[in-house]
Structures are given as structure tokens and as C-alpha cells.
Structure 1
């Protein structure tokens, strides 16, 4: 008895195999594209020039250490910060400004509204930093009183934030921004500053800040 061969099994499996290969190729292409985009974003994050910051000036309205022993600081300072970005766009998602003295934060943080900075743009911010009766270490309080009596106090103005870079249509992941701007305030030298609004003294600093991301 002759056996009749049927070729329908091979033909029915061919569309399934083609669909499997088609899906495999599509997913492989997607994986390659995602890998390339991820590599480009990582390269941008590592090699894009950091923004530059300058502390232009500081206007001191109050700076008083109190307590016995001195461990409270009441201050009000308006700073002028200049940010410059040359080659890429930057999203400043969060920026907090505050002052420190000998590694201790001595003012409350002030937030700067989120902003986008295009390439070759310059942003100028003038936030107030300070606080009433902010607790400080006793040793720092004594040191502040001594330095202020000698005529000059050196503090650091910090910017702590979150940023993203934009290069063409690509936007990187969020990176942490740390900025430190030294400020030497000459309390004992009236000629070092200019009277502002009858009660504040404006000190021109033009200090280049250190930036790390």
C-alpha cells in the first residue's frame, strides 16, 4: 500500500517561523538603538563641559552672632550669582543656595525656580540667604565673633542642585550639581562696600566658583 505524502505541514510552519524571525529582528534592532542612545547619553554626561558660576557680589543687611556662649546667628544676605553655559542646554531642575562657615551650614537654604538655560546663555540670580537665630556650633560662634571683630569673615556660598543636559533632541538623566563660592566680607572696612537702601552694605566680590557634577 502506497503512502501518500502531504506537504502541508512544512508550508504551515513557514509563516510561524517568518513571524518569529521578524519579531526577533525587530527586538534586536530596538535593543541596539537603546544601547546606542544610552552610550551617547553616558558620553554626554561624562564629557560635556560643566556650567560656570561667578559670585558677583553680596549685600549684607544683617550678620549678628548672639547667645551666651555665642551659638545663634541672625543674618540676611543678598547674593548675585552668574551662571554661564557655552556648548549645551541645561535644565536646572532644582537649585538651593545657602552659606556655610567652617563646614557648617549657617543659613537656611533658598530655592531658585527651575529654569532652562540654552547654550551661550547667561543667567543672573539674586537670592536672599539667611535666617533668624540659626543654631551654630559654639566654636564656630566664637570664631565668627573674633573674625568679625578683626574686620573680615570668610564664608562659602553653596549651590546644591539637580541638572540635566540637552544636546539636540537628547536629554540626559539627572545629575547632582555642587557649587562652592568663597566670599570674604570685610566688616571692619567701610570703604570695602557701598551702602544700599540705607541699611545694607554691598561688597563686590567677582569670585570664580568651583563646580562639580
Structure 2
């Protein structure tokens, strides 16, 4: 056998070796493409979150512009998709006044939400003597005249979509719920203080970004 024939046999064996590998790779690419097409056709709809109710136990601003906040809130999240499930990963909830965070973040348990399912979370948001920006302290003192304070309940985290056995990558979830707290302010001599706890039904739709 000549060297030329050996070279031909070597290349022939190489082709035989790479054919199954190429076929397997092609099958994987085709499967991923089909999953992507199905995913795009179904086009997942972002979850629908509602602030169901809230109770204000404390919303006190001291003379030194230190804000103490205590809220109890109930949030519900509904998956509007008929064929797509949602994984909730590392969700955190906190309260803010205008642009400033006024309570620490409270973690929600990771969970899976099936088609058309609803999940309800009830939690406490507490912030103790949080320094308030001077301009926000002025705004809060002005709002005491109307007896209404707008508190934002925010949710941040990551979600994943599940289509059949396919699970997508992680998407950032940003939720903003406006809570109009109608509070009974106390004496001017004690700064801005809220009276007895006020609980009320809200049923406020939240703004959701994914």
C-alpha cells in the first residue's frame, strides 16, 4: 500500500468519526431552535401583581429627620400564561418614600408558579430610625397637611420562564406598588407621627417590568 493510499484511509476514518458527532450537534441545534420558536410563538406575559391590603403601624419622623416605619402588606402575583410556568428567584420586598428606601429588604421564598396560578405573600416591612434626606423630610412635613402619604412597596428579583421541559435564563423583575397611606398625624411637638394602626383593603395594581 502506498503512502497516498494510507493518507486516503486516514481521512476516510476521520470522516466516519466526525459524522456521528456532526449529526448529534445538528440535532441539538435543531432542538434548541424548535424550543426557541415555540417560546417566541407563546410569547410569555409578565406576571400580574396586586397590593391587596396594608396596615400602617408606624410612620414617625423625629426632629432629627430619622424615620421609623412599620407596615404589614399582602401582595398577590398571578401567572396569566396558559402554557408557561414562572420560577421566582431571589425576590426581595422593601418600602420606599419617593426615591429613598426606608425599610430593609425582606426576602421571599423561591417558588414555582404554574399556569394561571396565584401566589399570595403576607409580610412585615420595618425600618428603624432611617436617616431621611432633608428635602424628603420637608415634603413629608408638608404632606401631613393632607393626611396622605404615598409609600411605594417595591419588589425586585429574577424570574425564569418554563415552557414544557425548557427553562429560560434569568430575567430581572422590577415591581412598583403605590400605597396611599391615609394616616392620622400626631402632635407637631413630636415631629411627624402616625396615630393608631390603620388597616385597609387596597386592591392596587402594581407596575411590573421584566
- Per the normalisation by structure 2, the TM-score is 0.82
Decide whether the 8 Å contact of 1:84 with 1:123 is kept in 2: yes
Cα deviation digits, residues 59-94 of structure 1 (max 9, x gap)? 1111101133xx211011000101111222111111
**Which residue is equivalent to 1:200?**
197
4+ residue runs over 2 A deviation: 4-37, 39-44
How many equivalent pairs are there?
197
For 1:7 and 1:93, how far apart are their aligned partners in 2? Answer: 61
For 2:172 and 2:29, how far apart are their aligned partners in 1? Answer: 28
Shift of 1:36: 4.3
Decide whether the 8 Å contact of 2:46 with 2:80 is kept in 1: no
For 2:6 and 2:96, how far apart are their aligned partners in 1? Answer: 79
For 1:104 and 1:6, how far apart are their aligned partners in 2? Answer: 79
Decide whether the 8 Å contact of 1:41 with 1:170 is kept in 2: no
Decide whether the 8 Å contact of 2:183 with 2:198 is kept in 1: no
Consecutive unaligned residues of structure 2, counting only runs of 5 or more, are 186-195
For 1:59 and 1:93, how far apart are their aligned partners in 2? Answer: 27
Decide whether the 8 Å contact of 1:149 with 1:188 is kept in 2: no
Question: Are the structure 2 counterparts of residues 7 and 158 from structure 1 closer, same or farther at C-alpha, using a change threshold of 3 Å?
Answer: closer
Higher Rg of the two aligned structures: 1
Consecutive unaligned residues of structure 1, counting only runs of 5 or more, are 190-198
Shift of 1:132: 0.5
**Which residue is equivalent to 1:73?**
67
Do structure 1's residue 28 and structure 2's residue 22 form an aligned pair?
Answer: no
- Per the normalisation by structure 1, the TM-score is 0.81
Question: Are the structure 2 counterparts of residues 43 and 150 from structure 1 closer, same or farther at C-alpha, using a change threshold of 3 Å?
Answer: same
**Which residue is equivalent to 1:193?**
none
Do structure 1's residue 82 and structure 2's residue 76 form an aligned pair?
Answer: yes
Cα deviation digits, residues 149-203 of structure 1 (max 9, x gap)? 43110121111111111111111100000111111111139xxxxxxxxx63202
**Cα RMSD (Å) of the superposition?**
2.7
Do structure 1's residue 160 and structure 2's residue 137 form an aligned pair?
Answer: no
